[in-house]
Amino acid sequence: MAKSLIGGLIQNGYATDHIYVTDPDESKLQALAETYSIHTSSDNQQALTKADVVVLAVKPQVMAQICHSIKKSVQTTQPLIISIAAGIRSTDIDRWLGNNNAIVRTMPNTPSLIQAGATGLFANPGTSAAQKSIAENILAAAGLTLWVDNEAQLDAVTAVSGSGPAYFFLFMEAMQQAGQQLGLDQTTAGLLARQTALGAARMALEGEDDPATLRAKVTSKGGTTAAALASFEANHFSDIVQQALTAARDRAIELADELGNQ
């Protein structure tokens, strides 16, 4: 995810000389330096002395450890902190960093890797309007950005867009398998499913109609689409989706509770 942000920022004209990346893996640092001509280091403290904005792109399980290790430097320089770690609340990050920090917590998704992501953002009370704008510009390098009014809504963002790509992959997988059972070869069924998903998404994003209207427009009474949709509804498709997203939301809350107790 960090690599996607770096690539997106540079593509949008951000100066490579202003980007510093740290990582314990020297091979990753070397690859990033060769690809993007940015500054790299294995020393977090050294990088922090030059940073107005710190992006914490680490696994949730090590966030507490990382925050404790950089707390002194953060308290000295007071940078804007942006977290892209799933399931870590801003209040816990603030506590681990010594309190009174400007923190923007974000929930991106994997299409950010190709600059087609969707990211929910929440700013804590210590974040200024100017800092919010900076955070939005950084995450916009990976795709769509949307602010939420309270941090609890990020759990819903996690359920809808954070985990969402996997739902569509599952649906495409099921469509491909069904197409094969109906007589298509694997390649044909797979390409038809993927291109149909892409076309439908573009129509929903780029057109003026909402998904419900688009669905109605392609559903002729007594036709093939109507038969398929009736089958979906007979098997409680909407209820299945609601239950799945609720389960994802609830698990996000559980993870935040577990990780916050570190």
Digit-coded pLDDT (tens) for 2-27: 898 999 999 889 999 999 999 999 99
**Do 2-157 and 164-256 have matching folds?**
no
Query: pLDDT tens digits for 165-174?
Result: 999 999 999 9
- Could you tell me the pLDDT band of residue 50, with boundaries at 50, 70 and 90? confident
> Domain coordinates of the chain in residue numbers?
2-157, 164-256
Q: pTM higher than 0.85, yes or no?
A: yes
Q: In angstroms, rounded to a whole number, what is the distance separating the alpha carbons of residues 229 and 210? A: 17
Q: How far is CA 134 from CA 80, 126, 130, 195, in A?
A: 9, 14, 6, 35
Q: What is the CA radius of gyration of the chain?
A: 22
Give the model's pLDDT for residue 160.
97
φ, ψ at 124 (rounded to 5°): -75, 170
For the domain covering 2-157, report its CATH number: 3.40.50.720
Q: Which two tokens stand for residue 210?
A: 């909402």
262 confidence band (pLDDT: 50, 70, 90) = confident
- For residue 88, the tally of other CB atoms under 10 A from its CB is 24
Q: What is the mean pLDDT of residues 205-215?
A: 96
Q: Which fold has domain 164-256?
A: ProC C-terminal domain-like fold (1.10.3730)
pLDDT in tens, 127-162: 999 999 999 999 999 999 999 999 999 999 999 999
Q: For residue range 105-131, what is the model confidence (pLDDT) as tens digits? A: 999 999 998 999 999 999 999 999 999
